[in-house]
Structure 1
Amino acid sequence: MEYLLSIAGFDPTSGAGVIRDIITFRKLGFYGLGVATALTYQNTRGFDGFKVLSSNVVEQELKVIMEDFPIKFVKVGMLGTSVDLIVEFAREYDWFLIFDPLLTAKNGKTINKIEDIEPLLKIAEVITPNVPEAEKLAGIKIKNESDVISAGKILTHKYGKYVIIKGGHLNGRDYLFGDEIKSYGMPKINKIVHGTGCAYSSSLLSFIAKGLKIEEAFIEVRKFLQREIENAIDTGGYSLLP
């Protein structure tokens, strides 16, 4: 079995972060490994805050994992204070890296600051912002498809790699920016589901690790996520992916 690594925050509901990524990796045929960058205080009714782990702690986590496992594919989410450290590891081990640039929690609390994550945005092979994140990263408002395309062009020019803008906050259609612009959508499901962004980026990594081209993985991810959302667990608060 091949190994994939998630570097992200710890969510006690297992709905997002490291645990959700590992669940997703396993569903798609990989053994998932996780390095926590922060501990979050949240449940299905809200996000109360988080505690960032020091870069020394994260470094120890990464060192022992890399001593034991041949990691080549890595997903990164919540970063804490470890951006430069992760960039160093990515360069040393030649990781294929997908970065989900989480900026705020559902309650508006800042998770990653744009100025802090710039080094990782520049080395990631793919970045996967949702519409609110793409607005902040590109510096424009997104109200329609034309705005999405403008933002995607800005981000691909700025960072030089593939950009996927997820459409859950708009029309439910996802957009891939690379050599060409591609889009793919399925019927929007009227549920508030926790952790879809994490599941998107970790499933994208999984399909690429299977050998799919990014254009193919882009479509398979949306199909996978659609099934996951359809089967989401109703908890009384935010629904959770199965």
Structure 2
Amino acid sequence: MTTRPPRILIIAGSDSSGGAGIQADIKTVTMLGGYAMTAITAVTAQNTRGVTGVEMLSPDMVAAQMDACMTDIGVDAVKIGMLGSADIAEVVADRLEDLPCPIVFDPVMVATSGSVLADEATRDVFGWLMDLATLTTPNVPELAALGGAAALDAKEIAWLAKGGDAEGATVEDVLHRPGRVPVMWEGPRIQTRHTHGSGCTLASAIATLLAQGQELESAIEKARQFVRRAMEAAPGYGSGHGPMGHQAVR
């Protein structure tokens, strides 16, 4: 009898160039053996050089997409990416309030190209989502915008400090959990400009692996390996921050 793939609900924006957002999430979930469903929050016009246009969906439409998936197919894990507005963030948090499955929250605020993807009002709702999440995955500037390590530790949540955009020849990612010693992973920095969608990919990979029954540390370890392999397999497209090679990872 064939084992059915875990069902991953992705709540994020669409990237027209395919490198990040919903598109990177679907590729990641599929390559790791999951079944990807989506609640799209925004449609963006973007490529490896930046974002040139954004159109938000209504909060009601985002909620309707979530409801359609959750009431019929069901959900084994959730990945949250770009939300785009405070109203959308609130309706997403409300829908997830009592959902009994892993939730991975990537608090997207700025794209790899530098484009701002979350205003101050949206960031104000992030505290609610972090309280609901199994894991929150801020990068260096996102961590600073959320108040720093002390602020997140005070919330007594699990969070992964991503070091991909820090300086140095070594990339360090650190898992913080209430009452436990932090766990650090490190590896040599891959010298490449093809990093578009790396944060989306990591969060989606962790969500998929958690849905498969992996413990948190194991899920993070394997997700990091997936991101590194996808980065090394980048097809070389675009003149800016290019997409990674999800399809080449086995």
Normalising by the residue count of structure 1, what TM-score does the alignment of the two structures yield? 0.89
Say how many residue pairs are matched.
229
How do residues 124-203 of structure 1 correspond to structure 2 at under 5 angstroms? Answer: 124-139=133-148, 151=149, 153-158=150-155, 160-170=156-166, 171=168, 172-178=171-177, 179-192=180-193, 193-203=195-205
The answer to whether residue 80 in structure 2 is matched with residue 83 in structure 1 is no
Contact 2:102 2:211 in 1 (8 A): no
Deviation of 1:93 after TM superposition, in Å, equals 3.0
Q: Distance in 2 between matches of 1:103 and 1:236?
A: 23
Residue 213 (structure 1) aligned to one of 189, 212, 215: 215
Deviation of 1:156 after TM superposition, in Å, equals 2.5
Residue 33 (structure 1) aligned to one of 37, 54, 59: 37
* Larger deviation, residues 111-120 vs 6-15: 111-120
Q: Distance in 2 between matches of 1:45 and 1:207?
A: 31
Partner deviation per Cα, 1:112-138 (whole Å, 9 max, x = no partner): 232132221222111000111111112
Q: Sequence identity of aligned pairs in percent?
A: 32
Contact 1:47 1:106 in 2 (8 A): no
The answer to whether residue 126 in structure 2 is matched with residue 117 in structure 1 is yes
Normalising by the residue count of structure 2, what TM-score does the alignment of the two structures yield? 0.86
**Pairwise CA RMSD:** 1.5
Deviation of 1:108 after TM superposition, in Å, equals 3.7
Contact 1:6 1:21 in 2 (8 A): yes
Q: Which runs of 5+ in 2 are unaligned?
A: 246-250
Q: Which runs of 5+ in 1 are unaligned?
A: 140-150
Partner deviation per Cα, 1:3-56 (whole Å, 9 max, x = no partner): 111000011111111121111011111111111001111012221131111101
Contact 1:191 1:239 in 2 (8 A): no
Partner deviation per Cα, 1:155-214 (whole Å, 9 max, x = no partner): 1322x2211011111241111111220111121111122000000000011111121111
In structure 2, relative to structure 1, the CA distance for the partners of 1:157 and 1:135 (3 Å cut) is: same
Corresponding residue of 2:16: 12
Structure showing greater relative contact order (alpha-carbon pairs closer than 8 Å, 6 or more residues apart): 2
